[in-house]
A and B are shown apart, each in its own frame.
Chain A
Amino acid sequence: MRLAGTRWAALAVPLSAALALLAWLVTLQHAVGPARVVAGLLLVFVLPGVAATAALFPELAVPEPGRAANERPRLSRLERVVLVPTLSLAVPVIGGVLLNLVGLRLTAATWGGLGAVATLLLAGVAYLRQRGSRSPSDPFAPAGGSARPAAFPPGAAGSGRPGRPAVGMLRRLAPLAVAVALLGIAGWIGMRSATNGAQESFTALSMVPDDDPNPADQVRPVTLAVDCHESAPTRYTVKVREDAGDGHQYQLSLQPGEVWKQDLDVPTTGRVTADLFKGDGDTPYRSVFVSGLQ
């Protein structure tokens, strides 16, 4: 297992570089939804951090007691796990300021390019530093041949245990699966109660004066709108009246989320009021007005 872990560490660098390029390409393809999400998550939270950690700490494990003090510092697996998202997040923070400084517009393409290029550069540095530290006899072994991961030690310290590791792993991880399932249930309850809970039902009426192309003609344009946020299809009546008593009337029926609009020319003098009546009601449900120009 130690060799496998070391091999994985050595593979992480080229793998992160290749994945970064692939992820960048995927994020540019707007059609592939789930793959794009995964690619974006990798580019923001994982790949730059993996490459940066590998570039800064080419060795896998912490030095053993008694090892020479001037050797390259090493990280435990736990430290790598924590540093990866932190350093990944530093890339858009610092890189974004630099890109902005050189005048590049920050779009999906530039963000993806930033993550991918940073990963490639750091992976290159990691490759060079790792190459310099490898033993000629074992291309995957870190310098000195020690790969004892001090933190996150393997569960079975002793090797050669009997039995079926897959079953043991399932038994050990079953409670974690239960925990994840419970958190999923909690999330479902939360989303359901937040979105399906007490939904407000209301309708908004608005009347907004528009730019008047001909101020001398004693009328001005306004736009009247009804925005339905009711829980069911609703019938309305809109009555527009002037001070003089003249007016228009509109009958409409709207689905929830639907908006009705009407452009009108109204006098520039006196107040023009629009009343909204809901269903067969005879008292205004909503009311807006524009005053005459002074």
Chain B
Amino acid sequence: MVPAPRKVESVARVPVGAPDETMVLPRFTDSAPDQTVVIPRVAEPVAEAARAPGWLPSLGRAPEVLALSAFGVVLVALAYQGGRSGAGWAGAAYWLGQLVVSVPVAVRMFFRRLAGVAESFVLVMGLAVDEYLQKWLYSPDQFRFPDELQHWVGTNILLQDGRLFQPNNALPVAVHFPGLEEMTASLSSMTGLSITNAGLLVAGVAHLAFIGLLFLVVRSTGGSAELAGAVCVIYSTALHYLFFDSMFIYQTAALPFLMLVIWASRRWEPRQRHTAVYAVLCGVGLLGVSICHHVTAAATIATLGLIGACEAVMNRPRRWATLIVAGAGVVLVTGWFALVAREVFGYLGPPVEQMVGGVAGMLRGGGSSGGSSSPGNPMWQLAVEAFGLLALLGLLVRAGLVSWRSSGRFDAWRAAALIGALVFFASTAVRFVGSEGPELAGRASTFTYIPMSMVAAGVLVGWRPRLRGPSRPLVVKRAVDGVLSRMRPIWVHPVVLGPVIVTLLMAGSRVGGWPPYWEQLPGPYLVSGYERSVDQQGVAGAVWTYDWLGPDHRVAADITGATLVSTYGEQNPVGEASKLYYDGTWNLDDELLLQSLGVDYLWVDTRISQQLPISGAYFPVDPQTGQHTAPIPQGNLSKFDDVAGINRVYDSGDIHVYDMRNA
């Protein structure tokens, strides 16, 4: 939690930490309402400073901690290698690696003996680098996740045409948000690097910039180095932090601009002309986020609106700057949506409608319209996830309790963080709504987990063994105090409690986030297994369609085929043709469906007759999602060989391509 310090009025002028300064440390403790906690900063031993050269920031123990954390990355790399070769120890190495990457940084961050801002910042950025490398190591030679491939081909189109807003069959809406493609195309064309390598660099830098700005946002609200570091460490346990937030996708490019706007809006004061540069930065950030990603743009406005509303209601004198920025954001983003990206309404509409319908259904007591389509995690993983959520809930309750008791000055930032944390729990509940619930909840957590991390970090950094309880009845107070006095164990110390909770949350995010448990490690081909479905044969087949058939044909395919032909093949994928594959014999209905969908070619991957779909669906639009009990019969796929007028134009063993134009 990062409330503005009680005795500092302007957040823009809060002095930031240096080793020799005593600074205000805002914290969620149950001290007397108006008491400011002042903690003398503890610097690293003098001997260390004496040995370091003058220009080098005091890094404390960050180098040693990061060396240990880097060893965890080696373990994860070995685990991935083991996964590819089917080694039995790979799972254990993966989890050990995860612990070694995160825990040392968390322990150091909660140790309360940081050397200063530099140590905290270096630890945070080091952890972000280590975790980004884990994502890269999963698939270091090429992009495999569908969304990454969609932006890969978008960048390819930009490089070929030299124009923005050119059609992209793989993800039509993305052409109106070309920020990531612009960054990558500029780097690729100037350096000569491949799109993949340029994209990995762009995504990595954007991810690090996002984390750096999150650190700055906490600092700008008066948060100490420990608090800023703790927020970033806890945020690294977000469901989608490890993969989605650092993938080569347009959200990754937009996130730094979101944070830039929030950071700059905190410092802009319309009545002080000299702060106008922060308004400029707000404008740059709003433009950037509008051009990069629709949902992040909406989240930026929502965040600014929440903070601005809290400031307008609670600050005396009232502060309007953030609301003004939010208003500018509304104009800019809706303008971009209305004038440039009208397609976004059709793209975002159906999932939102489904979610609203699901929530309405649950409220009516009728249950959700559909559960998760993919197989559930093992029980122990669900338990870890549940305990992590419970821990967060406990921290939120404690933060709320402390805020309520010290309500002499309930500042706007604290209120916004608490409301944001509540939104996090509301969005977590969306997991159980509809078939897209888990994905929507995960994607929302990228934004809602930021205030949750602030609340959790605020409580943990300022942790005290127990809350002050003046309102308890005497009997209860004596009983509770009696129990607590006997329990006063070491685990209540932040250096233990903080890392324990971070570890729990990290484990929960790994089992509940991305990649799903069945592809936590890279390995052999899986049907409908996202990254695990992209293999050399599929890529070669998709490239063949581009080279031999030309682009923009309508190609019906399974989930993986649709991804591959729309990206490597630059074809127009048809995801609604599942009936063609499910029918045991070719009939008139199939011919009519073929004509109505305008299918030119049929992509048949015969492996869908050998495995069940690991993610629950064989096709992009699959009426049997989550209901499959056996693979599609082989005969359903070989029937195309006997249909008059059809050509089988490609055969690579598992993959056949049929020319359906004369069927």
Contacts and interface: CB of A to CB of B under 8 A. Distances in A.
Interface in B268-297: 272-275, 277-278, 280-281, 284-285, 287-288, 291-292
B537 A202 contact: yes
B16 A76 contact: yes
A151 B284 contact: no
B70 interface: yes
B74 A179 contact: no
Interface string B613-646: 0000000000000000000000000000100111
Interface stretch (B175-183, B367-375, B396-404): B175-183
B190 A178 contact: no
A159 interface: yes
A86 B396 CA distance: 32
A124 interface: no
A200 B536 contact: yes
Given A179-B66, A190-B137, A194-B140, A163 B50 contact: yes
Interface in B515-549: 522, 524, 535-537, 540-541, 544, 548-549
A176 B66 contact: yes
A217 interface: no
Interface string A194-226: 110111101111111100000000000001010
Given A65-B15, A198-B524, A36 B70 contact: no
Contact of A172 (B52, B85, B275): B52
A244 interface: no
B587 to A, nearest CB: 18
A71 to B, nearest CB: 7
Given A40-B190, A73-B278, A190-B77, A156 B162 contact: no
Contacts of B212: 81-82
Contact of A165 (B54, B165, B644): B54
B35 interface: no
Contacts of B260: 83, 86
Contact of A169 (B53, B541, B652): B53
Contact of A97 (B12, B164, B544, B654): B164
Interface in A251-289: 276, 285-289
B294 to A, nearest CB: 15
B54 A194 contact: no
Interface string B127-143: 00110010011011100
A168 to B, nearest CB: 3
Chain B interface SS verdict (over half): helix
Interface stretch (B113-121, B449-457, B461-469, B473-481): B113-121
Contact of B183 (A30, A93, A202, A288): A93
A108 interface: yes
Contact of B548 (A4, A72, A202, A206): A206
Contact of A227 (B12, B50, B55, B544): B544
B53 A190 contact: no
Contacts of B284: 87, 90, 94
- Interface size band for B: 35 or more
Contact of B137 (A155, A162, A182, A186): A186
Contacts of B81: 189-190, 192-193, 197
B257 A178 contact: no
A176 B183 contact: no
Contacts of A223: 548
Interface stretch (B201-209, B312-320, B426-434, B435-443): B201-209
Given A71-B274, A106-B162, A151-B16, A182 B74 contact: yes
Interface string B80-121: 110011000000000000000000000000000000111001
B74 A114 contact: no
Interface string A24-60: 0001001001001101110111000000000011000
Given A155-B59, A291-B644, A182 B272 contact: no
Given A41-B187, A178-B70, A200 B51 contact: no
Interface string A54-91: 00110000110100011111001011011101110110
Given A73-B12, A193-B81, A182 B70 contact: yes
A264 to B, nearest CB: 14
A115 interface: yes
A107 B189 contact: yes
B193 interface: yes
A204 B185 contact: no
A152 interface: yes
A186 B219 CA distance: 33
B650 A194 contact: no
Contacts of B206: 85, 89
B589 interface: no
Given A157-B19, A186-B137, A291-B645, A94 B291 contact: yes
A290 B56 contact: no
Contacts of A57: 277
B662 interface: yes
B154 interface: no
B354 interface: no
B71 interface: yes
Contacts of B535: 200
B213 interface: yes
Contacts of B292: 93
Contacts of B202: 44, 89
Given A90-B288, A106-B164, A182 B662 contact: no
B231 interface: no
Nearest to B47: A168
Contacts of B19: 153, 157
A178 to B, nearest CB: 4
B248 interface: no
Given A1-B54, A150-B15, 15 more contacts: A41-B201, A69-B10, A69-B272, A76-B16, A90-B287, A96-B178, A108-B189, A108-B190, A156-B53, A168-B50, A176-B66, A187-B140, A208-B649, A290-B649, A290-B659
12 contacts: A69-B13, A92-B183, A94-B287, A96-B178, A115-B190, A150-B17, A153-B58, A169-B56, A175-B67, A182-B71, A190-B77, A193-B77
Interface of A: 1, 4-5, 27, 30, 33, 36-37, 39-41, 43-45, 56-57, 62-63, 65, 69-73, 76, 78-79, 81-83, 85-87, 89-90, 92-94, 96-97, 100, 105-108, 110-112, 114-115, 148, 150-159, 161-163, 165-169, 171-176, 178-180, 182-183, 185-187, 189-195, 197-200, 202-209, 223, 225, 227, 229, 276, 285-291, 293-294
When A and B form their complex, which 8 residue pairs have the shortest distance between CB atoms, in order from nearest?
A: A168-B51, A40-B191, A155-B52, A40-B190, A175-B63, A82-B212, A190-B137, A165-B53
